[in-house]
Structure 1
Amino acid sequence: MSALPLITDWQFYAIAIPAVLMVGVSKSGFGSGFGSLTVPLMALVVTVPQAAAIMMPILFVMDIMGLAAFRKHFDWRLIRFLIPFGLVGTVVGTLTFRMLDAHLVAGIVGVFTLLFLAQRLAFPPRPDSPHPPKWLGALLTVISGFTSFVSHSGSPPINAYVLPMRLPPLVFTATMAAFFFAINLSKWIPYAWLGLLDLRNMSTSLALLPFAPIGVLMGLRIAKRIEPKMFYRLVHLGMFLTGMKLVWDGFFAA
């Protein structure tokens, strides 16, 4: 019986294992930024589409764990608003995937991430600040579905809409878990149609899968003990690191 044709380069695993742990921690909530670093990091050793395909089964396991852990904290009204627009974004991603330069998309997402973060830090919202308008939420959620499809970097756009609502950390985490479960689930058929779910990618994903629950459990322990103020500081740090990495990959990397 022949061995599975997975990636065997040690350099890949030296980057991929920490990246998987990072996205697992992100599923506990403050990865609103950190999780988007996974594909850009893995793209140092494999192509962006291959990195995105390898992450698919791993994200599925993480999403299921997140849904189970935070099932009592969903904001169903917000979820019902977000998911249809996110799915529109995945359709756009499916139809344009072959025409896109994934690095350019990453760079554009990074620029908007940093602009949003700068605006929030320069003009922090007051407790009585109104929520962002729904038309902006719809637009940002479509963009989130699109960038999630292309490179699993859907968190920054949707954060620009949801973070100003200042939801309690557990509600924020649960709502994002439900949203990205639906978005990631919708990618399976398009990814297969595009030929990304081949045996080598799926075998490599299987090798990385044991690290998925470790990262999620690490994040859950932190999320249930963290103060809201520190929670949002970590969100902002994750967004800053994500934005800088995406900008570098999009406009400066060779």
Structure 2
Amino acid sequence: MTWEFFAAGAFAALFAGVSKGGFGSGAAFAGAAILAIVAPPGVALGIMLPLLMVIDVATLRPYWRQWGNEETWVLVLGGLPGVALGVLFYRIADADLMRVLIGAIAVGFVVWQLAVRAGLVRGASKPLPVGAGLMAGVVAGFTSFVSHAGGPPAAVYLLSRGLSKTGFQATTVSVFFAINISKAVPYGFLGLFTRETLTIALMLAPFALIGAWIGVCTHRIVPERVFFAITYVLLTVTGLKLIADGL
């Protein structure tokens, strides 16, 4: 624990809280990417999961029962086998491969979002079926396990379902509340939870809660375009850095 590491961790926790609390959790995985620059990927993942679970609990009540029931169940049922795939992958991956994967997901997220905004990629013109939702859940569970980046694949399905802004936010909160709980046990067996990582997570928890409060309060005030513009720059820089380090 150095001042540099604590500063990076505090910013990561705060940013994850704001994202999950008010902007659909799509960019919350930036916290893990930031920490992975200053710590081994496994350590970064082990620190971030308890923080994300704290944020889940803090943001569940403001959005209680405002989620889409069908969409929640479909993504959770798909997410569980995705988590299992993540466990298998983590057992064979080394730290450098994890850095490259986390960095590639970060940069890929930015490229995808820019392509959508430029009209190069179009969203579904009609609601995606249950089968597509289950597949989105599998991908969300996998990417959530290996980099806490389950938000984007889940968003692809949810955006096609015509949910309101608050309904979309509430559904992502409920989905990742369940998926993050399912990740906790394998994280423990894989050694991602240690006394040190849990202690650091406890120290950073106030920043995560403050971020969640800010996110909930600004959900209807701050334009998403402003928040995600900052996120794109942050993810591009951290993603390229992780890829370079891993290679």
TM class by smaller structure: 0.7 to 0.9
Residues 70-120 of structure 1, C-alpha deviation per residue, up to 9 Å, x if partnerless?
003111111011101111111111122121221232244235424432332
Aligned position for 1:72: 65
Looking at structure 1, the residues matched to 42 and 233 of structure 2 have their Cα atoms a distance apart, in angstroms, of 21
Query: Structure 1 residues 236, 139: closer, same or farther in 2, change over 3 A?
Result: farther
Give the CA RMSD over aligned residues: 2.6
Which ranges of structure 2 fall in alignment gaps of 5 or more residues? none
| Structure 1 position 24, deviation (Å) | 0.6
Aligned position for 1:173: 169
Correspondence for 1:15 among 8, 11, 17: 8
Query: Structure 1 residues 48, 96: closer, same or farther in 2, change over 3 A?
Result: same
Residues 9-41 of structure 1, C-alpha deviation per residue, up to 9 Å, x if partnerless?
111011110111111111223153431110111
Q: Is the 8 A contact 1:33 1:238 kept in 2?
A: no
Residues 37-79 of structure 1, C-alpha deviation per residue, up to 9 Å, x if partnerless?
1011111211111011012221111101111110031111110
Looking at structure 2, the residues matched to 215 and 151 of structure 1 have their Cα atoms a distance apart, in angstroms, of 20
Query: Structure 1 residues 213, 236: closer, same or farther in 2, change over 3 A?
Result: closer
Which ranges of structure 1 fall in alignment gaps of 5 or more residues? 1-7
Q: Is the 8 A contact 1:109 1:246 kept in 2?
A: no
TM-score by length of 2: 0.87
Q: Is the 8 A contact 2:100 2:242 kept in 1?
A: yes
Correspondence for 2:200 among 197, 204, 225: 204
Residues 210-252 of structure 1, C-alpha deviation per residue, up to 9 Å, x if partnerless?
22211111111101445xxx33x25753663465246414533
Residues 142-192 of structure 1, C-alpha deviation per residue, up to 9 Å, x if partnerless?
111111111212112222332344522211111000011111000111011
Looking at structure 2, the residues matched to 120 and 90 of structure 1 have their Cα atoms a distance apart, in angstroms, of 27
Aligned position for 2:189: 193
Establish whether residue 82 from structure 1 lines up as the match of residue 75 from structure 2: yes
Query: Structure 1 residues 115, 141: closer, same or farther in 2, change over 3 A?
Result: farther
Aligned position for 1:40: 33
Correspondence for 2:115 among 116, 119, 135: 119
Query: Structure 1 residues 143, 235: closer, same or farther in 2, change over 3 A?
Result: farther
Report SS of the residue matched to 2:27. helix
Q: Is the 8 A contact 1:103 1:249 kept in 2?
A: no
Q: Is the 8 A contact 1:33 1:235 kept in 2?
A: no
Looking at structure 1, the residues matched to 219 and 231 of structure 2 have their Cα atoms a distance apart, in angstroms, of 17
Query: Structure 1 residues 166, 184: closer, same or farther in 2, change over 3 A?
Result: same
Question: Relative to structure 2, which stretch is displaced further, 22-31 or 119-128?
Answer: 119-128
Query: Structure 1 residues 127, 149: closer, same or farther in 2, change over 3 A?
Result: closer
Q: Is the 8 A contact 1:31 1:235 kept in 2?
A: no
Question: Relative to structure 2, which stretch is displaced further, 244-253 or 47-56?
Answer: 244-253
Report SS of the residue matched to 2:28. helix
Aligned position for 1:91: 84
Equivalenced residue count is 243
Report SS of the residue matched to 2:38. coil
Aligned position for 1:49: 42
Percent identical pairs in the alignment equals: 32
Looking at structure 1, the residues matched to 105 and 61 of structure 2 have their Cα atoms a distance apart, in angstroms, of 30
